[in-house]
Amino acid sequence: MIEVSGYTKRYGRHEAVSNLSFTVQPGAVFGLLGSNGAGKTTTIRALVGLTRPTSGTVRVAGFDVWRDPVKAKAAFGYIPDRPYLYGKLTARELLRFVGQLYQVPDADSEIDRWLEFFRLTDFGNELIETYSHGMRQKVAIIAALLPDPPVLIVDEPMVGLDPHAARQVRDLFRSHADRGRTVLLTTHSLPVAEAVCDRLVVLDRGKVLGEGSMDDLRARTGTEAGGVHGDSLERIFFRLLEDELEEQRRVREEAGVAGVGA
Amino acid sequence: MTVTPAPQPARTAQPSLSGLKLRALRHTLRRGPKWGYALVGTLALLLVVGEVVGTWRALTFLGRFGDIGLNVFARVLEIGLITLASGVTFSATTAAISTLYLSDDLNFLLTQPIRTTRVFALKVTETFLNAALVPVFLTVPLLLTVAAYFHAPVWAYPVMILAALLVFAAPVGLGALLAVLLMRVAPVGRVREVSTALGVLISAGLVYAIRALRPEVLVQKLQDPTKVEALLRDFAGPGSPLLPPSWAAQGIWQAAQGQLAAPLLPLLLLTVTLLLGATLLAAKAYQDGWARALDSSTPKLDPRPRRAGFSERLLNRLGPGGALAAKDLRVTLRDPTQWSQLLVVVALAGVYLVSVRAVPIPVPQFRGILGYIQLAFQGFIIAGIAVRLAFPAVSTEARGYWLLRTAPIQPRQIVLSKFLGVLPVTLTVGLVMGVASALSMSLGPTLLLLSVLVSLSNALVITALGVGLGAAAPKFDADNPAEIGVSPGGLAFMGLSLAYSVLCLLLLARPAAGSVLRPDLYPGYSALGTTEGILGLIGLLLATVLGTYFSLRTGWRRLDRLE
* Residue B11 included in any domain: no
**Domain limit, last residue, from B265, B294, B323:** B294
Nearest-Cα distance to chain B for A94, in Å, is: 8
* Residue B1 included in any domain: no
Q: Are B172 and B124 in contact (CB under 8 A)?
A: yes
Residue among A119, A175, A154, A132 nearest A32 (CA): A154
- A143 CB neighbours in chain B (<8 A) are 403
> DSSP secondary-structure letter at B418?
H
Average pLDDT rounded to a whole number, residues B134-162: 90
Of the partner residues A49, A74, A122, the one whose CB lies closest to the CB of residue B301: A122
pLDDT digits (tens, 9 = 90+) for B153-165: 999 999 999 998 9
User: Are residue B382 and residue B417 in the same domain, yes or no?
Assistant: yes
Q: How far apart are CA B12 and CA B10, in angstroms?
A: 6
- Which residues of B have a CB under 8 Å from any CB of A? 296, 299, 301-308, 312, 316, 320, 322-324, 326-327, 330-331, 334-335, 398-400, 402-410, 561, 563
* DSSP state string for B145-173: HHHHHTT--TTHHHHHHHHHHHHHHHHHH
Neighbours of A141 (CB within 10 A): 25
User: Are residue B488 and residue B377 in the same domain, yes or no?
Assistant: yes
Tally of domains within chain B: 2
User: Are residue B149 and residue B72 in the same domain, yes or no?
Assistant: yes
Q: B78 versus B4: which is more confidently predicted?
A: B78
Neighbours of B435 (CB within 10 A): 14
User: Are residue A238 and residue A123 in the same domain, yes or no?
Assistant: no
User: Are residue B326 and residue B265 in the same domain, yes or no?
Assistant: no
Nearest-Cα distance to chain B for A188, in Å, is: 22
* Residue B27 included in any domain: no
User: Are residue A50 and residue A93 in the same domain, yes or no?
Assistant: no
Residue among A85, A75, A148, A74 nearest A111 (CA): A148
Cβ of B323 within 8 Å of Cβ of A49? The answer is: no
**Domain limit, last residue, from A116, A148, A180:** A148
User: Are residue A101 and residue A59 in the same domain, yes or no?
Assistant: no
In the predicted model, is pLDDT for residue A238 greater than 80? no
**Domain limit, last residue, from A148, A180, A199:** A148
Quickly state the pLDDT bin for A225 (edges 50, 70, 90). Answer: low
- DSSP-derived 3-state class of residue B392: coil
Cβ of A90 within 8 Å of Cβ of B301? The answer is: no
Cβ of B406 within 8 Å of Cβ of A73? The answer is: yes
**Domain limit, last residue, from B294, B325, B345:** B294
- A151 CB neighbours in chain B (<8 A) are none
Please report the pLDDT score of residue A228 as a whole number: 44
Tally of domains within chain A: 2
Cβ of B407 within 8 Å of Cβ of A73? The answer is: yes
User: Are residue B405 and residue B503 in the same domain, yes or no?
Assistant: yes
- A92 CB neighbours in chain B (<8 A) are 305-306
Strand order in the sheet with A14-24: A14-24, A2-11, A55-60, A63-64
Of the partner residues B316, B335, B405, the one whose CB lies closest to the CB of residue A50: B405
**Domain limit, last residue, from A120, A148, A176:** A148
User: Are residue B356 and residue B253 in the same domain, yes or no?
Assistant: no
User: Are residue B327 and residue B243 in the same domain, yes or no?
Assistant: no
CA distances from B259 to B55, B108, B159, B166, B244 (A): 21, 47, 10, 18, 19
Quickly state the pLDDT bin for B73 (edges 50, 70, 90). Answer: confident
Give the highest mean pLDDT range of A246-255, B375-384, B392-401.
B392-401
Q: Which domain holds residue B450?
A: 314-561
User: Are residue A29 and residue A157 in the same domain, yes or no?
Assistant: yes
* Domain containing residue A188: CATH number: 3.40.50.300
Q: Are B252 and B160 in contact (CB under 8 A)?
A: yes
- DSSP-derived 3-state class of residue B13: coil
Bridge-based pairing state of the strands A182-187 and A151-155: parallel
User: Are residue B141 and residue B95 in the same domain, yes or no?
Assistant: yes
| Dihedral sign, Cα of residue B312, residue B314, residue B315, residue B319 | positive
* Residue B411 included in any domain: yes
* Residue B309 included in any domain: no
User: Are residue A162 and residue A240 in the same domain, yes or no?
Assistant: yes
In the predicted model, is pLDDT for residue A100 greater than 50? yes
Please report the pLDDT score of residue A227 as a whole number: 45
User: Are residue B70 and residue B127 in the same domain, yes or no?
Assistant: yes
Return phi, psi of residue B148, to 5°.
Answer: -65, -40
CA B239 to chain centre: 26
Contacts of B1 (CB under 8 A, 6+ apart): none
Q: Are A182 and A150 in contact (CB under 8 A)?
A: yes
Q: Are B179 and B93 in contact (CB under 8 A)?
A: yes
What is the ipTM, given to two decimal places? 0.86
* Residue B241 included in any domain: yes
User: Out of A83-97, A141-155, B104-118, B208-222, which region has the weakest mean confidence (pLDDT)?
Assistant: B208-222
User: Are residue B272 and residue B368 in the same domain, yes or no?
Assistant: no
* Residue B189 included in any domain: yes
pLDDT digits (tens, 9 = 90+) for B500-512: 988 998 999 888 8
Cross-strand bridge partners of residue A32: A186, A201
* Residue B375 included in any domain: yes
Q: Which domain holds residue A139?
A: 81-148
User: Out of A1-15, A83-97, B22-36, which region has the weakest mean confidence (pLDDT)?
Assistant: B22-36
User: Are residue B408 and residue B272 in the same domain, yes or no?
Assistant: no
User: Out of B204-213, B241-250, B437-446, which region has the weakest mean confidence (pLDDT)?
Assistant: B204-213
Across B509-526, b (16+ Cβ under 10 Å) vs e yields bbbbbbbbeebeebeebb
| Dihedral sign, Cα of residue B114, residue B115, residue B121, residue B127 | positive
User: Are residue B244 and residue B359 in the same domain, yes or no?
Assistant: no
Cβ of A70 within 8 Å of Cβ of B296? The answer is: no
